[in-house]
A and B are shown apart, each in its own frame.
Chain A
Amino acid sequence: MSIPTEVLYSALSTLVSFLVTIVILSYVIGDNPFFQVVLHIFIGVSVGYVLVVAWNQVIWPELLHPVVAGIALQDLRAVWLLLPLVGSLLLLMRAVPRVAILGQLPMAYLVGVGSAVIVGGAVLGTLLPQIDATIGAFDLRSARLHPFLTLFSSVLILVGVLGTLAYFHFGARQLEDGTIRRNALVGALTWIGRVYIAVSLGVIFAGLVLTALTAFISRVASFRELFDALDAIGKHF
């Protein structure tokens, strides 16, 4: 009797997955040591996995190896790689309180570059295209549906956009009697926006439920996978 290694590893991984899933689901009953152990193991494995990935796929092949190879080969292009290397070292200085201030420079660089990229991408990739799409929805020439439905859909989208934006507009003015109220039109749009936002949140919640249900189904399916693995192993006996 010999069990194929692939089948054995598959059955073993399925068993580990099943046990870990059971332990995690045990949190439904309450916090327990098994849950904590599995949780800590998961965190450790995740960090280890990230470090391995970072070392194997980023630090060594894209930073250290080129620098070392460049120095060895006297390639001046490797000098430019010293800048990210120094920056990475300075970031590591933040772990030491005395020299933590040295990490502010590379951190400032990261924040500046990251913010600029995000802002630029948001404006050029989301804001302007979405505004253009909202306006262009009324162009019935490119309508894929019936013009009336397209127009109705465009109106709904426009009202939803304006309503949602108005909902986050908190400007108001003080009336003569001292009360602070929004403009009537803004108030109406705000009410509509509130409806749209509520619907959107409901949709997002439904997506979360579906995602969670799918994950639950996949975990329950792992039971069957375990049985299938055990069945496969049993076939070899």
Chain B
Amino acid sequence: MAEIKCPMCGKPNPDDLDACQFCEARLKPVTDELSRSQPPIHVGDEPTKKDTAELEPVLPKWLREVRQQARESVEEQDEEQEQQEPVGAGDQHEDLLAGLQSDIEEDEIVPDWLSNLHGGEPSEIQDAIEISEDRLRAISGDAESSNSDMGTGDRLPGWASHPDAAQETREGGETLGDWLAREVGKEKAQEAGEKAPEESRAGFGLRGDAETDLSFQGESVDESAQFEGEIPSWLRVDENDATSEGGIGTKPLEEPAYREAPEDVQVGESAQDEPVDAMPDWLSSLGEETDGHQAGGDETVAGNGQAVKDDQGPPGAESELSFGASRPESSDEDEIPAWLAQMGEEEHQDEAVHSASEAGPEERIPRPAVQPEADEGWQDLSEVKPFALEQDVVPNEAADGSALLGEEDGAGPGEDVDALFSIEMPDWLSAVEQSAGPQASPEPEADSEVIRPAELPSWVQAMRPVEAFVSGEGAGGERSDTEQKGPLAGLSGVLPLVPGVGPSSKPKTYSIKLQASEDQLASAEQLEQLLEAESYPRPAIPRPGLPAQRWLRMTIFALLLIVVGFFLFAGTSVMYIPLSVTAGTAQALNIVREELLPDAAVLMVFDYQAAFAPELEASAAPLVDHMMLLKHPRLTLLASKPSATGLSERFMHNTQPGQSYVNLGYLPGDAAGALAFVENPRSAKPAIVDGQSQWETPALQGVTLVSDFAAIFLLTDEADTARIWIEQLHNRRGATRLVLISSSQAGPLLVPYMESGQIDGLVVGLEGGAPIEKVNSNRPGTVRRYWDAYGFGLIITITMIVAGSFWNLFSGWQANRKKTGEK
């Protein structure tokens, strides 16, 4: 024997077990049978034989209550019938019903789930069979009564009105007219003149004409006996009851159309196939409730012999018509129960079923409050009629009863039963039944349009296998938007069919997380710290290194003082003056020596402060002295700073004592003043001293423009002021030479102007004036006096800078080593 490993405990179990014998875990999936062993569920499939007793608790409460009430009412009615009805009223029916019963027993068409729903109580089934049996009796009786009462053959359905309908259906073996005709024939042979046919007619609501009745009567008992095997068991079982009731068809005739029609159709059409299993017992029980109420009417009808339904029919029949057709007397057709009047209309059957399915089950269940009692009169029925009309929940097609006939158009009985299920049962249960059927009866194409798959509750859909769900969708045509795979498999309409209707791509997601690099975060954190620090006053903390710095400064000062003082006071000439000169110095010297004409007008612009006077004087003195010695130019002094006015005088006093010159004084306006002076020197700086313009002096004769000066010497300590003069003199000085004598701090920034040719000579600091002084006939000058001190002072400065750098490096290394040691 094969073994199955328990998915929970892993122990082997026989494969025939559903639960593990060790841990009681389920060995087989719940949906295994549905999804594998059986084909997928389709809409319209007939129910499969299932043990659905376990589904009993899951039925809706209202359904269980209705069923319970039906059982109780049926039991009560049975008891009453046993006491009141004469025994042996339907002896002949016993044979017929016995055949039906044997048929049921042989075929065992009743599904397990249907029997299980009964809880194993056959009494309920038998009750239902009683109803059908009474119905048969009513039909046979009605057929006779219709000969005299009804003469309008057009009211009969096709199968009933046609003379050969019974024979045709008998040959087909699936029509209602066969066995009904036989039943009628037997009744007519045995109970000629009785009103049972009228009752059946009234109970069935059959308003057939004489032809119909004749067709029923034309059947012989023997022929009907041949079909005993085709009669369902429930109908056969009911023979006894029918006998006790004293007639056939009392109860079936009283059943409403929604319930009777399928059963009738099955009886005539395909009772041999599956007449009973198409109708669950719970539905029968529902009908039993109705039957219970209607039984009274039937009994009354049977008792008073006025079961014939006509426009002036008895109250009991009228009430039944009101339940069966909802519009019993509105017109000629209304006189006939709607469900029976259109039994022959094939084309409306499916629509009727569908319409009936749309109506709520509670609207079709006869309510006891409106059920006429057996002894109620016509007035009672008149009271019921408005109710039926008011109810009118069944569409005309359903009300006509045509939907309940399906044998002529080949519709299977199961289909009708399903239709009834869709009417009576909740949607979820009817759909399950349809889809769980082992064999789907062929449906006409029109049915697929009308009968739509019931919408299942979500929890039922969740219970169904995916294949079944997909199959159900495919029953009405495979939907192109049904998902075939993935988590949405089996679902349709969840995704757009046409790309672009919905979002074609996954929407872009934006992270709410700040996308910033570590550097940015660090900078932001520093900024936050700065902002926070601004709000908190920090106490002034004395710098611990201040005394050290003070001593350091004093040390540096003392060292420089000693070195510089020593060489200044000693008057040594230890350091030689280099002969190499820079390009700027060389060009400046060349201008003084070669380019300047003797007695040429030379403008000297003083643009420095007093603090830089020693350096600039030392740098410019050799060049000016060399020029004065060689060319004897006419000097004109101009100061671009207020303090430079006295410095210019100081310069001439210290370097060129006794030399004549013109001091134009201070030129205000900075850049604008320089521009004005360059444009018009006389207007910009009138230089009126004692009422006389300095421009009229011999030193400035013939000079009206800047370009009239042979050379311009600019002594500056700032690159910015020098740049102003350079910029303003650019392209305005003509052939005038421009020589800059600057301090050491401004010299590097002026070199580009020298390289670009915007200035013609550049003398920077002592190092620029030293070679000029050397070539100036060895005239003693300031540069030579300062040169040793300058040289050694520079060495000391470099030494201190280097020593300080190494000291910081060592101290830092030592601090890091100390920290490392501590760690």
Binding site for B on A (CB under 8 A): 25, 28-30, 46, 49-50, 53-54, 56-58, 61-62, 65, 113-114, 117-118, 121-122, 124-126, 129-130, 132-133, 137, 144, 157, 177-180, 200, 203-204, 206-211, 213-221, 223-224
Contacts and interface: CB of A to CB of B under 8 A. Distances in A.
A117 B672 contact: yes
Contacts of A56: 665
A211 B744 contact: yes
A219 B611 CA distance: 10
Contacts of A124: 727, 730-731
A50 B744 contact: no
A180 B517 contact: yes
B794 A213 contact: yes
B77 interface: no
A223 B568 CA distance: 9
A52 to B, nearest CB: 9
Contacts of B665: 53, 56-57
Contacts of B395: none
Contacts of B687: 61
Nearest to A69: B691
Interface string B581-618: 00100000000000000000000000000011011001
Interface string B711-732: 0000001000001101111110
B752 A130 contact: yes
Contacts of A213: 560, 790, 793-794, 797
B723 A208 contact: no
A210 B554 contact: no
What is the predominant secondary structure among interface residues of chain B facing chain A? Answer: helix
Contacts of A179: 517, 519-520
Contacts of B785: 221
B793 A217 contact: yes
B732 to A, nearest CB: 10
Contacts of A129: 730, 756, 758
A73 to B, nearest CB: 12
B756 A211 contact: no
15 contacts: A28-B554, A29-B550, A61-B688, A121-B671, A125-B730, A125-B758, A126-B723, A130-B752, A178-B517, A210-B765, A214-B790, A216-B564, A218-B615, A219-B614, A220-B564
A217 B790 contact: yes
A133 B565 contact: no
Interface stretch (B52-60, B124-132, B641-649): B641-649
Contacts of A211: 612, 615, 717, 743-745, 765
B796 to A, nearest CB: 9
Contact of A204 (B568, B745, B756, B797): B745
Given A62-B686, A207-B748, A208-B745, A114 B670 contact: yes
Interface string B37-62: 00000000000000000000000000
Given A54-B642, A218-B615, 12 more contacts: A28-B554, A29-B550, A30-B550, A49-B643, A121-B675, A125-B723, A137-B755, A178-B516, A218-B614, A223-B565, A223-B569, A224-B569
Interface residues of B, number: 68
B766 A214 contact: yes
B4 to A, nearest CB: 56
A215 B793 contact: no
B746 interface: yes
B421 interface: no
A29 B554 contact: yes
A46 B644 CA distance: 11
B810 interface: no
Contact of B749 (A125, A204, A214): A204
A207 B743 contact: yes
A216 B789 CA distance: 10
B387 interface: no
Contact of A214 (B568, B724, B744): B744
B727 A220 contact: no
A207 B517 contact: no
A142 to B, nearest CB: 10
A16 to B, nearest CB: 14
Nearest to B556: A28
A221 B745 CA distance: 21
Given A28-B557, A53-B642, A215 B611 contact: yes
Interface string B664-675: 011010111001
B671 A117 contact: yes
* Most chain A beta-carbon neighbours within 10 Å: one of B645, B727, B764: B727
B683 to A, nearest CB: 10
B561 interface: yes
Contacts of A157: 755
B537 interface: no
Given A209-B797, A213-B794, A133 B728 contact: no
A133 B755 contact: yes
5 nearest CB pairs, A to B = A125-B727, A218-B614, A121-B727, A133-B756, A210-B744
A32 B366 CA distance: 122
Contacts of A125: 723, 726-730, 758
Nearest to B615: A214
B381 to A, nearest CB: 87
A33 B562 CA distance: 26
Contacts of A28: 550, 553-554, 557
Contacts of A114: 670-672
A113 B671 CA distance: 10
Nearest to B565: A220
B818 to A, nearest CB: 31
Contacts of A200: 748
A50 B793 contact: no
Given A58-B666, A215-B615, A221 B728 contact: no
B672 A217 contact: no
Nearest to B619: A214
A209 B789 CA distance: 14
B379 to A, nearest CB: 91
A66 to B, nearest CB: 8
A210 B768 CA distance: 12
A121 B614 contact: no
* Most chain B beta-carbon neighbours within 10 Å: one of A50, A121, A124, A221: A121
Contacts of B569: 223-224
Given A53-B666, A62-B686, A125-B727, A214 B614 contact: yes
B692 to A, nearest CB: 11
Contacts of A53: 642-643, 645-646, 665-666
